Structure 1
Amino acid sequence: MKTSKRISYSISITILAVSAVFWIILLFNPGGIMTVKHCHMTLQGASKASLQMMLKMNPVSDLMMGWTLMVLAMMLPKLIAPVQYIYGRSFKNRRFWSALLFIFGYTAVWIVVGFFMNALIVGLNLVMPNSFIPAIGVGIIAAIWQFSPVKQRCLNRGHDHIPLAAFGPEANRDAVMFGMMHGIWCVGAGWALMLFPMLLPAGHNLAMIVVTFIMISEHMEHPRFPRWHFSFRLKLLHIIIARTRTNLKTALNLN
Protein backbone atom coordinates (compact mmCIF):
# COMPACT_ATOMS: atom_id res chain seq x y z
CA MET A 1 0.00 0.00 0.00
CA LYS A 2 2.81 2.40 0.89
CA THR A 3 4.56 1.57 -2.39
CA SER A 4 1.36 2.26 -4.34
CA LYS A 5 0.91 5.62 -2.63
CA ARG A 6 4.54 6.51 -3.27
CA ILE A 7 4.18 5.67 -6.98
CA SER A 8 0.97 7.72 -7.24
CA TYR A 9 2.67 10.63 -5.52
CA SER A 10 5.70 10.38 -7.82
CA ILE A 11 3.44 10.35 -10.88
CA SER A 12 1.62 13.46 -9.69
CA ILE A 13 4.83 15.37 -8.96
CA THR A 14 6.46 14.35 -12.25
CA ILE A 15 3.48 15.31 -14.40
CA LEU A 16 3.00 18.62 -12.60
CA ALA A 17 6.71 19.41 -12.98
CA VAL A 18 6.65 18.68 -16.72
CA SER A 19 3.48 20.77 -17.05
CA ALA A 20 5.22 23.62 -15.20
CA VAL A 21 8.12 23.51 -17.69
CA PHE A 22 5.69 23.85 -20.59
CA TRP A 23 3.95 26.72 -18.79
CA ILE A 24 7.27 28.55 -18.42
CA ILE A 25 7.89 28.16 -22.16
CA LEU A 26 4.39 29.44 -22.93
CA LEU A 27 4.66 32.46 -20.67
CA PHE A 28 8.03 33.45 -22.14
CA ASN A 29 6.51 32.88 -25.60
CA PRO A 30 9.77 32.38 -27.55
CA GLY A 31 9.46 33.63 -31.11
CA GLY A 32 5.90 34.79 -30.44
CA ILE A 33 4.49 31.31 -31.17
CA MET A 34 1.48 31.93 -28.93
CA THR A 35 0.37 35.14 -30.65
CA VAL A 36 -0.97 35.65 -34.15
CA LYS A 37 1.00 38.34 -35.99
CA HIS A 38 -1.11 40.54 -38.25
CA CYS A 39 -0.34 41.94 -41.66
CA HIS A 40 -1.33 45.56 -42.12
CA MET A 41 -2.88 45.33 -45.59
CA THR A 42 -5.98 47.23 -44.55
CA LEU A 43 -6.75 48.58 -48.03
CA GLN A 44 -7.22 45.07 -49.38
CA GLY A 45 -9.00 43.74 -46.31
CA ALA A 46 -9.48 39.97 -46.11
CA SER A 47 -7.92 39.29 -49.49
CA LYS A 48 -5.87 36.40 -50.82
CA ALA A 49 -2.75 38.56 -50.56
CA SER A 50 -3.54 39.34 -46.92
CA LEU A 51 -4.00 35.62 -46.19
CA GLN A 52 -0.69 34.79 -47.86
CA MET A 53 1.07 37.48 -45.87
CA MET A 54 -0.52 36.32 -42.62
CA LEU A 55 0.52 32.71 -43.27
CA LYS A 56 4.03 33.90 -44.05
CA MET A 57 4.12 35.79 -40.76
CA ASN A 58 2.46 32.88 -38.93
CA PRO A 59 3.80 29.60 -40.37
CA VAL A 60 1.59 26.58 -39.79
CA SER A 61 4.51 24.88 -38.02
CA ASP A 62 4.74 27.73 -35.49
CA LEU A 63 0.99 27.75 -34.93
CA MET A 64 0.92 23.99 -34.34
CA MET A 65 3.97 24.15 -32.07
CA GLY A 66 2.28 26.80 -29.94
CA TRP A 67 -0.95 24.80 -29.86
CA THR A 68 0.86 21.59 -28.83
CA LEU A 69 2.74 23.39 -26.06
CA MET A 70 -0.53 24.86 -24.81
CA VAL A 71 -2.21 21.45 -24.81
CA LEU A 72 0.65 19.84 -22.89
CA ALA A 73 0.85 22.68 -20.36
CA MET A 74 -2.89 22.85 -19.73
CA MET A 75 -3.90 19.20 -20.09
CA LEU A 76 -1.10 17.17 -18.49
CA PRO A 77 -2.45 17.68 -14.93
CA LYS A 78 -5.75 16.16 -16.11
CA LEU A 79 -3.89 12.98 -17.06
CA ILE A 80 -2.61 12.19 -13.59
CA ALA A 81 -5.49 9.83 -12.74
CA PRO A 82 -5.37 7.87 -16.06
CA VAL A 83 -1.58 7.51 -15.83
CA GLN A 84 -1.95 6.25 -12.27
CA TYR A 85 -4.54 3.78 -13.57
CA ILE A 86 -2.06 2.56 -16.22
CA TYR A 87 0.71 2.16 -13.65
CA GLY A 88 -1.61 0.20 -11.37
CA ARG A 89 -2.57 -2.26 -14.12
CA SER A 90 0.68 -2.73 -16.03
CA PHE A 91 3.76 -4.80 -15.40
CA LYS A 92 6.67 -2.84 -14.00
CA ASN A 93 8.73 -3.07 -17.19
CA ARG A 94 5.82 -1.70 -19.28
CA ARG A 95 4.46 1.06 -17.08
CA PHE A 96 6.46 4.01 -18.38
CA TRP A 97 6.14 3.00 -22.04
CA SER A 98 2.38 2.45 -21.75
CA ALA A 99 1.99 5.84 -20.06
CA LEU A 100 3.93 7.52 -22.89
CA LEU A 101 1.76 5.79 -25.51
CA PHE A 102 -1.34 6.93 -23.66
CA ILE A 103 -0.12 10.55 -23.62
CA PHE A 104 0.85 10.25 -27.29
CA GLY A 105 -2.64 9.06 -28.26
CA TYR A 106 -4.26 11.77 -26.15
CA THR A 107 -2.07 14.55 -27.55
CA ALA A 108 -2.52 13.31 -31.14
CA VAL A 109 -6.28 13.92 -30.89
CA TRP A 110 -5.75 17.49 -29.69
CA ILE A 111 -3.14 18.13 -32.41
CA VAL A 112 -5.59 17.07 -35.14
CA VAL A 113 -8.25 19.31 -33.61
CA GLY A 114 -5.65 22.06 -33.26
CA PHE A 115 -5.10 22.16 -37.01
CA PHE A 116 -8.75 23.10 -37.57
CA MET A 117 -8.76 25.41 -34.55
CA ASN A 118 -5.74 27.29 -35.89
CA ALA A 119 -7.36 27.56 -39.32
CA LEU A 120 -10.38 29.14 -37.65
CA ILE A 121 -8.18 31.44 -35.57
CA VAL A 122 -6.25 32.65 -38.62
CA GLY A 123 -9.49 33.19 -40.56
CA LEU A 124 -11.09 35.21 -37.79
CA ASN A 125 -7.94 37.27 -37.27
CA LEU A 126 -7.83 37.94 -41.00
CA VAL A 127 -11.42 39.22 -41.06
CA MET A 128 -11.32 41.01 -37.68
CA PRO A 129 -7.69 41.66 -36.70
CA ASN A 130 -7.03 42.70 -33.10
CA SER A 131 -10.73 42.45 -32.29
CA PHE A 132 -12.28 41.07 -29.12
CA ILE A 133 -15.52 40.19 -30.96
CA PRO A 134 -14.48 36.61 -31.95
CA ALA A 135 -13.34 35.90 -28.38
CA ILE A 136 -16.58 37.28 -26.96
CA GLY A 137 -18.61 35.15 -29.36
CA VAL A 138 -16.68 31.98 -28.48
CA GLY A 139 -16.87 32.93 -24.80
CA ILE A 140 -20.68 33.01 -25.01
CA ILE A 141 -20.69 29.62 -26.76
CA ALA A 142 -18.32 28.24 -24.12
CA ALA A 143 -20.59 29.48 -21.32
CA ILE A 144 -23.63 27.80 -22.89
CA TRP A 145 -21.67 24.60 -23.61
CA GLN A 146 -20.34 24.62 -20.04
CA PHE A 147 -23.76 23.80 -18.60
CA SER A 148 -25.11 21.63 -21.42
CA PRO A 149 -26.01 17.92 -21.13
CA VAL A 150 -23.68 17.15 -24.06
CA LYS A 151 -20.69 18.49 -22.15
CA GLN A 152 -21.73 16.49 -19.10
CA ARG A 153 -21.85 13.33 -21.20
CA CYS A 154 -18.32 14.04 -22.41
CA LEU A 155 -17.12 14.64 -18.85
CA ASN A 156 -18.76 11.40 -17.74
CA ARG A 157 -17.12 9.41 -20.51
CA GLY A 158 -13.80 10.98 -19.59
CA HIS A 159 -13.94 8.89 -16.40
CA ASP A 160 -14.08 5.63 -18.38
CA HIS A 161 -11.01 3.44 -17.93
CA ILE A 162 -10.81 0.63 -20.47
CA PRO A 163 -9.21 -2.78 -19.80
CA LEU A 164 -5.55 -2.91 -20.86
CA ALA A 165 -3.77 -5.92 -22.35
CA ALA A 166 -0.70 -7.02 -20.43
CA PHE A 167 1.71 -8.03 -23.20
CA GLY A 168 2.91 -7.33 -26.70
CA PRO A 169 1.37 -5.24 -29.48
CA GLU A 170 -2.07 -5.51 -27.88
CA ALA A 171 -0.79 -3.65 -24.80
CA ASN A 172 0.66 -0.88 -27.01
CA ARG A 173 -2.58 -0.65 -28.98
CA ASP A 174 -4.71 -0.48 -25.84
CA ALA A 175 -2.54 2.29 -24.35
CA VAL A 176 -2.78 4.39 -27.52
CA MET A 177 -6.52 3.76 -27.90
CA PHE A 178 -7.08 4.62 -24.25
CA GLY A 179 -5.30 7.94 -24.83
CA MET A 180 -7.21 8.66 -28.03
CA MET A 181 -10.61 7.93 -26.50
CA HIS A 182 -9.71 10.03 -23.46
CA GLY A 183 -8.65 12.82 -25.82
CA ILE A 184 -11.88 12.64 -27.85
CA TRP A 185 -14.07 13.05 -24.77
CA CYS A 186 -11.77 15.76 -23.44
CA VAL A 187 -12.10 17.66 -26.74
CA GLY A 188 -15.87 17.27 -26.55
CA ALA A 189 -15.91 18.75 -23.07
CA GLY A 190 -13.39 21.55 -23.51
CA TRP A 191 -13.07 22.61 -27.15
CA ALA A 192 -14.71 26.01 -26.62
CA LEU A 193 -12.73 26.74 -23.46
CA MET A 194 -9.49 25.92 -25.28
CA LEU A 195 -10.37 28.12 -28.25
CA PHE A 196 -11.32 31.16 -26.18
CA PRO A 197 -7.83 32.23 -24.97
CA MET A 198 -6.37 31.82 -28.46
CA LEU A 199 -8.78 34.40 -29.88
CA LEU A 200 -7.97 37.11 -27.36
CA PRO A 201 -5.81 39.90 -28.83
CA ALA A 202 -4.54 40.56 -25.29
CA GLY A 203 -4.58 38.78 -21.94
CA HIS A 204 -4.43 35.27 -23.35
CA ASN A 205 -1.91 34.09 -20.71
CA LEU A 206 -4.27 34.98 -17.86
CA ALA A 207 -7.16 33.42 -19.78
CA MET A 208 -5.19 30.18 -20.25
CA ILE A 209 -4.51 29.98 -16.52
CA VAL A 210 -8.20 30.51 -15.67
CA VAL A 211 -9.32 27.99 -18.30
CA THR A 212 -6.79 25.44 -17.02
CA PHE A 213 -8.13 25.85 -13.49
CA ILE A 214 -11.71 25.34 -14.71
CA MET A 215 -10.89 22.28 -16.80
CA ILE A 216 -8.88 20.56 -14.07
CA SER A 217 -11.59 21.34 -11.52
CA GLU A 218 -14.45 19.97 -13.64
CA HIS A 219 -12.45 16.83 -14.39
CA MET A 220 -12.23 16.18 -10.63
CA GLU A 221 -16.01 16.17 -10.26
CA HIS A 222 -17.94 12.91 -10.06
CA PRO A 223 -20.09 11.92 -13.07
CA ARG A 224 -23.60 13.39 -13.10
CA PHE A 225 -26.80 12.74 -15.00
CA PRO A 226 -26.55 14.66 -18.30
CA ARG A 227 -28.91 17.63 -18.14
CA TRP A 228 -28.77 21.39 -18.16
CA HIS A 229 -26.96 22.00 -14.89
CA PHE A 230 -25.84 25.48 -13.83
CA SER A 231 -22.86 24.47 -11.74
CA PHE A 232 -19.45 26.09 -11.95
CA ARG A 233 -17.66 22.85 -10.95
CA LEU A 234 -15.17 24.48 -8.58
CA LYS A 235 -14.07 21.35 -6.73
CA LEU A 236 -10.39 22.26 -7.10
CA LEU A 237 -11.03 25.65 -5.47
CA HIS A 238 -12.91 23.96 -2.62
CA ILE A 239 -10.00 21.55 -2.09
CA ILE A 240 -7.48 24.39 -2.04
CA ILE A 241 -9.57 26.36 0.48
CA ALA A 242 -10.09 23.30 2.72
CA ARG A 243 -6.40 22.40 2.73
CA THR A 244 -5.39 26.00 3.37
CA ARG A 245 -7.73 26.15 6.37
CA THR A 246 -6.36 22.85 7.68
CA ASN A 247 -2.75 24.02 7.28
CA LEU A 248 -3.54 27.33 9.02
CA LYS A 249 -5.24 25.54 11.93
CA THR A 250 -2.26 23.18 12.25
CA ALA A 251 0.18 26.09 12.20
CA LEU A 252 -1.83 27.99 14.83
CA ASN A 253 -2.06 24.93 17.07
CA LEU A 254 1.70 24.40 16.87
CA ASN A 255 2.25 28.00 17.91
Structure 2
Amino acid sequence: MTTSKRISYSISVTILAVSALFWIILLFNPGGIMTVKHCHVTLEGPSKASLQMMLQMNPVSDLMTGWTLMVLAMMLPKLIAPVQYIYNRSFKNRRFASALLFIFGYTAVWIVMGFFMNAVIVGLNLLWPNSYIPAIGVGMIAVIWQFSPVKQRCLNRGHDHLPLAAFGPEANRDAIMFGIMHGVWCVGAGWALMLFPMLLPAGHNLAMIVVTFIMISEHMEHPKFPRWHFSFRLKLLRVIMARTKSNLKTALNSN
Protein backbone atom coordinates (compact mmCIF):
# COMPACT_ATOMS: atom_id res chain seq x y z
CA MET A 1 0.00 0.00 0.00
CA THR A 2 1.39 3.38 -1.03
CA THR A 3 1.78 6.21 1.48
CA SER A 4 -1.10 8.16 -0.11
CA LYS A 5 -3.46 5.19 0.09
CA ARG A 6 -2.40 4.46 3.65
CA ILE A 7 -3.16 8.05 4.67
CA SER A 8 -6.55 7.96 2.91
CA TYR A 9 -7.39 4.68 4.63
CA SER A 10 -6.37 6.07 8.04
CA ILE A 11 -8.50 9.17 7.51
CA SER A 12 -11.53 7.07 6.55
CA VAL A 13 -11.17 4.74 9.53
CA THR A 14 -10.61 7.60 12.00
CA ILE A 15 -13.58 9.65 10.82
CA LEU A 16 -15.91 6.64 10.73
CA ALA A 17 -14.79 5.64 14.25
CA VAL A 18 -15.49 9.13 15.61
CA SER A 19 -18.85 9.17 13.84
CA ALA A 20 -19.69 5.77 15.36
CA LEU A 21 -18.86 7.14 18.81
CA PHE A 22 -21.30 9.99 18.35
CA TRP A 23 -23.92 7.53 17.08
CA ILE A 24 -23.54 5.49 20.27
CA ILE A 25 -24.13 8.62 22.34
CA LEU A 26 -27.19 9.52 20.26
CA LEU A 27 -28.72 6.06 20.50
CA PHE A 28 -28.27 5.96 24.29
CA ASN A 29 -29.75 9.49 24.39
CA PRO A 30 -28.33 10.53 27.79
CA GLY A 31 -30.60 12.96 29.59
CA GLY A 32 -33.13 12.74 26.77
CA ILE A 33 -31.31 15.40 24.73
CA MET A 34 -32.60 13.96 21.44
CA THR A 35 -36.29 14.08 22.39
CA VAL A 36 -38.48 17.14 22.87
CA LYS A 37 -40.32 17.00 26.19
CA HIS A 38 -43.88 18.24 25.84
CA CYS A 39 -45.93 20.37 28.18
CA HIS A 40 -49.70 20.59 28.48
CA VAL A 41 -51.24 23.12 26.12
CA THR A 42 -54.05 25.25 27.48
CA LEU A 43 -57.58 24.89 26.14
CA GLU A 44 -57.17 28.21 24.35
CA GLY A 45 -54.29 26.72 22.40
CA PRO A 46 -50.58 27.58 22.43
CA SER A 47 -49.78 30.45 24.74
CA LYS A 48 -46.84 32.39 26.11
CA ALA A 49 -47.07 30.33 29.31
CA SER A 50 -46.96 27.10 27.30
CA LEU A 51 -43.91 28.32 25.39
CA GLN A 52 -42.12 29.31 28.60
CA MET A 53 -42.90 25.93 30.13
CA MET A 54 -41.67 24.10 27.04
CA LEU A 55 -38.41 26.07 27.04
CA GLN A 56 -37.95 25.26 30.73
CA MET A 57 -38.43 21.58 29.95
CA ASN A 58 -36.23 21.85 26.83
CA PRO A 59 -33.39 24.31 27.53
CA VAL A 60 -31.75 25.78 24.46
CA SER A 61 -28.41 24.34 25.62
CA ASP A 62 -29.86 20.80 25.60
CA LEU A 63 -31.48 21.32 22.21
CA MET A 64 -28.23 22.60 20.70
CA THR A 65 -26.18 19.82 22.30
CA GLY A 66 -28.46 17.20 20.79
CA TRP A 67 -28.40 18.99 17.42
CA THR A 68 -24.59 19.23 17.38
CA LEU A 69 -24.21 15.55 18.27
CA MET A 70 -26.63 14.64 15.49
CA VAL A 71 -24.73 16.75 12.96
CA LEU A 72 -21.38 15.19 13.90
CA ALA A 73 -22.75 11.65 13.86
CA MET A 74 -24.56 12.01 10.54
CA MET A 75 -22.25 14.37 8.65
CA LEU A 76 -18.70 13.30 9.53
CA PRO A 77 -18.65 10.44 6.97
CA LYS A 78 -19.43 13.01 4.27
CA LEU A 79 -16.23 14.87 5.16
CA ILE A 80 -13.85 12.01 4.36
CA ALA A 81 -13.18 13.18 0.79
CA PRO A 82 -12.61 16.88 1.70
CA VAL A 83 -10.29 15.93 4.58
CA GLN A 84 -8.35 13.66 2.22
CA TYR A 85 -8.12 16.59 -0.19
CA ILE A 86 -6.70 18.77 2.60
CA TYR A 87 -4.13 16.13 3.56
CA ASN A 88 -3.03 15.69 -0.05
CA ARG A 89 -2.51 19.45 -0.52
CA SER A 90 -1.01 20.49 2.80
CA PHE A 91 2.44 20.23 4.29
CA LYS A 92 2.81 17.44 6.80
CA ASN A 93 3.07 19.77 9.79
CA ARG A 94 -0.17 21.58 8.77
CA ARG A 95 -2.42 18.68 7.78
CA PHE A 96 -4.09 17.93 11.09
CA ALA A 97 -4.63 21.58 12.04
CA SER A 98 -6.08 22.41 8.62
CA ALA A 99 -8.41 19.42 8.79
CA LEU A 100 -9.65 20.49 12.24
CA LEU A 101 -10.22 24.07 11.04
CA PHE A 102 -12.15 22.75 8.05
CA ILE A 103 -14.37 20.59 10.31
CA PHE A 104 -14.82 23.54 12.68
CA GLY A 105 -15.99 25.82 9.85
CA TYR A 106 -18.31 23.16 8.48
CA THR A 107 -19.82 22.35 11.88
CA ALA A 108 -20.25 26.06 12.71
CA VAL A 109 -22.57 26.47 9.72
CA TRP A 110 -24.76 23.59 10.87
CA ILE A 111 -24.77 24.90 14.45
CA VAL A 112 -25.99 28.32 13.28
CA MET A 113 -28.64 26.54 11.23
CA GLY A 114 -29.49 24.53 14.36
CA PHE A 115 -30.78 27.62 16.17
CA PHE A 116 -33.35 28.17 13.41
CA MET A 117 -34.14 24.45 13.16
CA ASN A 118 -34.71 24.13 16.90
CA ALA A 119 -36.94 27.21 16.88
CA VAL A 120 -39.05 25.52 14.19
CA ILE A 121 -39.05 22.23 16.13
CA VAL A 122 -40.19 23.89 19.37
CA GLY A 123 -42.83 25.97 17.57
CA LEU A 124 -44.31 23.01 15.71
CA ASN A 125 -44.30 20.85 18.84
CA LEU A 126 -46.11 23.64 20.65
CA LEU A 127 -48.78 23.80 17.95
CA TRP A 128 -49.10 20.03 17.45
CA PRO A 129 -47.71 18.22 20.51
CA ASN A 130 -47.05 14.48 20.00
CA SER A 131 -48.41 14.73 16.46
CA TYR A 132 -47.08 13.33 13.20
CA ILE A 133 -48.54 16.27 11.25
CA PRO A 134 -45.33 18.40 11.32
CA ALA A 135 -43.18 15.42 10.32
CA ILE A 136 -45.53 14.54 7.45
CA GLY A 137 -45.53 18.14 6.24
CA VAL A 138 -41.74 18.45 6.36
CA GLY A 139 -41.42 14.99 4.82
CA MET A 140 -43.46 16.13 1.82
CA ILE A 141 -41.28 19.22 1.48
CA ALA A 142 -38.16 17.04 1.73
CA VAL A 143 -39.40 14.78 -1.09
CA ILE A 144 -40.10 17.77 -3.35
CA TRP A 145 -36.73 19.33 -2.46
CA GLN A 146 -35.00 15.99 -3.06
CA PHE A 147 -35.77 16.09 -6.78
CA SER A 148 -35.46 19.86 -7.31
CA PRO A 149 -32.82 21.61 -9.45
CA VAL A 150 -31.90 23.82 -6.47
CA LYS A 151 -30.89 20.76 -4.45
CA GLN A 152 -28.86 19.45 -7.38
CA ARG A 153 -27.02 22.78 -7.60
CA CYS A 154 -26.17 22.53 -3.91
CA LEU A 155 -24.94 18.96 -4.36
CA ASN A 156 -22.84 20.03 -7.34
CA ARG A 157 -21.26 22.91 -5.43
CA GLY A 158 -20.55 20.53 -2.56
CA HIS A 159 -17.98 18.90 -4.85
CA ASP A 160 -16.05 22.17 -5.21
CA HIS A 161 -12.65 22.05 -3.54
CA LEU A 162 -11.16 25.47 -2.85
CA PRO A 163 -7.45 26.17 -3.37
CA LEU A 164 -5.57 26.19 -0.07
CA ALA A 165 -2.67 28.45 0.90
CA ALA A 166 0.41 26.63 2.13
CA PHE A 167 1.62 28.87 4.96
CA GLY A 168 0.63 31.18 7.79
CA PRO A 169 -2.71 32.82 8.56
CA GLU A 170 -3.79 32.45 4.93
CA ALA A 171 -3.69 28.66 5.29
CA ASN A 172 -5.88 28.82 8.40
CA ARG A 173 -8.29 31.20 6.68
CA ASP A 174 -8.58 29.00 3.59
CA ALA A 175 -9.21 25.87 5.66
CA ILE A 176 -11.99 27.57 7.65
CA MET A 177 -13.54 29.11 4.52
CA PHE A 178 -13.41 25.74 2.79
CA GLY A 179 -15.35 24.26 5.72
CA ILE A 180 -17.86 27.13 5.80
CA MET A 181 -18.60 26.96 2.08
CA HIS A 182 -18.85 23.18 2.20
CA GLY A 183 -21.26 23.54 5.12
CA VAL A 184 -23.38 26.14 3.32
CA TRP A 185 -23.93 23.88 0.30
CA CYS A 186 -24.49 20.88 2.55
CA VAL A 187 -27.19 22.77 4.46
CA GLY A 188 -28.77 23.80 1.17
CA ALA A 189 -28.92 20.20 0.04
CA GLY A 190 -29.97 18.52 3.26
CA TRP A 191 -31.86 20.94 5.53
CA ALA A 192 -35.25 19.25 5.04
CA LEU A 193 -33.87 15.75 5.48
CA MET A 194 -32.16 16.80 8.72
CA LEU A 195 -35.33 18.41 10.09
CA PHE A 196 -37.62 15.47 9.37
CA PRO A 197 -36.32 12.98 12.02
CA MET A 198 -36.40 15.62 14.76
CA LEU A 199 -40.15 16.13 14.28
CA LEU A 200 -41.13 12.49 14.68
CA PRO A 201 -42.82 11.70 18.02
CA ALA A 202 -41.29 8.21 17.80
CA GLY A 203 -38.81 6.35 15.63
CA HIS A 204 -36.43 9.28 15.15
CA ASN A 205 -33.33 7.06 15.60
CA LEU A 206 -34.33 4.83 12.68
CA ALA A 207 -35.23 7.91 10.64
CA MET A 208 -31.78 9.43 11.35
CA ILE A 209 -30.08 6.26 10.14
CA VAL A 210 -32.13 6.24 6.92
CA VAL A 211 -31.50 9.95 6.33
CA THR A 212 -27.77 9.48 6.94
CA PHE A 213 -27.70 6.69 4.35
CA ILE A 214 -29.50 8.89 1.82
CA MET A 215 -27.25 11.92 2.42
CA ILE A 216 -24.02 9.91 2.16
CA SER A 217 -25.31 8.21 -1.00
CA GLU A 218 -26.22 11.45 -2.75
CA HIS A 219 -22.88 12.99 -1.80
CA MET A 220 -21.11 10.08 -3.54
CA GLU A 221 -22.90 10.74 -6.84
CA HIS A 222 -21.20 12.70 -9.61
CA PRO A 223 -22.43 16.25 -10.35
CA LYS A 224 -25.38 16.43 -12.74
CA PHE A 225 -27.17 19.13 -14.70
CA PRO A 226 -29.65 20.86 -12.32
CA ARG A 227 -33.20 19.98 -13.34
CA TRP A 228 -36.30 18.34 -11.96
CA HIS A 229 -35.69 14.61 -12.06
CA PHE A 230 -36.60 11.57 -9.98
CA SER A 231 -33.29 10.13 -8.85
CA PHE A 232 -33.00 8.32 -5.52
CA ARG A 233 -29.18 8.59 -5.55
CA LEU A 234 -28.48 5.21 -3.96
CA LYS A 235 -24.82 4.91 -4.91
CA LEU A 236 -23.86 3.80 -1.40
CA LEU A 237 -26.29 0.88 -1.68
CA ARG A 238 -24.81 -0.07 -5.07
CA VAL A 239 -21.28 0.09 -3.63
CA ILE A 240 -22.24 -2.10 -0.67
CA MET A 241 -23.95 -4.64 -2.94
CA ALA A 242 -20.99 -4.72 -5.34
CA ARG A 243 -18.44 -5.23 -2.57
CA THR A 244 -20.59 -7.88 -0.90
CA LYS A 245 -20.89 -9.73 -4.21
CA SER A 246 -17.12 -9.45 -4.76
CA ASN A 247 -16.34 -10.73 -1.25
CA LEU A 248 -18.75 -13.67 -1.64
CA LYS A 249 -17.20 -14.54 -4.99
CA THR A 250 -13.70 -14.42 -3.48
CA ALA A 251 -14.78 -16.58 -0.54
CA LEU A 252 -16.38 -19.18 -2.85
CA ASN A 253 -13.32 -19.29 -5.11
CA SER A 254 -11.01 -19.76 -2.13
CA ASN A 255 -13.03 -22.80 -1.07
TM-score by length of 2: 0.99
Hey, what does 2:29 align to over in structure 1? 29
When the two structures are aligned, how many residues end up with a matched partner? 255
Inter-partner Cα distance in structure 2 for 1:79 and 1:46? 41
Q: Deviations over 1:76-111 (max 9, x none)?
A: 000000000000000000000000000000000000
RMSD: 0.8
**Code of the aligned partner of 2:115:** F
2:111 is aligned with 1:111: yes
Inter-partner Cα distance in structure 1 for 2:164 and 2:28? 39
Hey, what does 2:69 align to over in structure 1? 69
* Offset of residue 43 of structure 1: 2.9
Hey, what does 1:228 align to over in structure 2? 228
* Offset of residue 44 of structure 1: 4.7
Hey, what does 1:175 align to over in structure 2? 175
Q: Where has structure 1 moved over 4 Å in runs of 4 or more?
A: none
Inter-partner Cα distance in structure 1 for 2:75 and 2:252? 36
Structure 2: which 5+ residue stretches go unaligned? Answer: none
Inter-partner Cα distance in structure 2 for 1:71 and 1:81? 17
Inter-partner Cα distance in structure 2 for 1:217 and 1:18? 19
Inter-partner Cα distance in structure 2 for 1:253 and 1:186? 42
Q: Deviations over 1:10-45 (max 9, x none)?
A: 000000000000000000000000000001244353
Hey, what does 1:11 align to over in structure 2? 11
Structure 1: which 5+ residue stretches go unaligned? Answer: none
Inter-partner Cα distance in structure 1 for 2:90 and 2:114? 31
**Code of the aligned partner of 2:54:** M
| Contact in 2 for aligned 1:148/1:229 (Cα 8 Å) | yes
| Contact in 1 for aligned 2:158/2:186 (Cα 8 Å) | yes
**Code of the aligned partner of 2:105:** G
Taking the TM superposition and a 5 Å limit, the aligned residue runs for 1:1-255 are 2-255=2-255
**Code of the aligned partner of 1:177:** M
**Code of the aligned partner of 1:223:** P
| Contact in 2 for aligned 1:105/1:177 (Cα 8 Å) | yes
Inter-partner Cα distance in structure 1 for 2:44 and 2:194? 31
Q: Deviations over 1:193-223 (max 9, x none)?
A: 0000000000000000000000000000000
| Contact in 2 for aligned 1:44/1:50 (Cα 8 Å) | no
**Code of the aligned partner of 1:172:** N
Percent of pairs with identical residues:
89
| 3-state SS, counterpart of residue 90 of structure 1 | coil
Inter-partner Cα distance in structure 2 for 1:41 and 1:177? 44
* Offset of residue 229 of structure 1: 1.3
Inter-partner Cα distance in structure 2 for 1:214 and 1:69? 19
**Code of the aligned partner of 2:244:** T
| Contact in 1 for aligned 2:138/2:196 (Cα 8 Å) | yes
| Contact in 1 for aligned 2:41/2:126 (Cα 8 Å) | no
* Offset of residue 114 of structure 1: 0.4
Q: Deviations over 1:32-77 (max 9, x none)?
A: 0000000124435311000000000000000000000000000000
| 3-state SS, counterpart of residue 139 of structure 1 | helix
Inter-partner Cα distance in structure 2 for 1:177 and 1:83? 14
| Contact in 2 for aligned 1:150/1:226 (Cα 8 Å) | yes
**Code of the aligned partner of 2:22:** F
**Code of the aligned partner of 1:120:** V
**Code of the aligned partner of 1:97:** A
TM-score by length of 1: 0.99
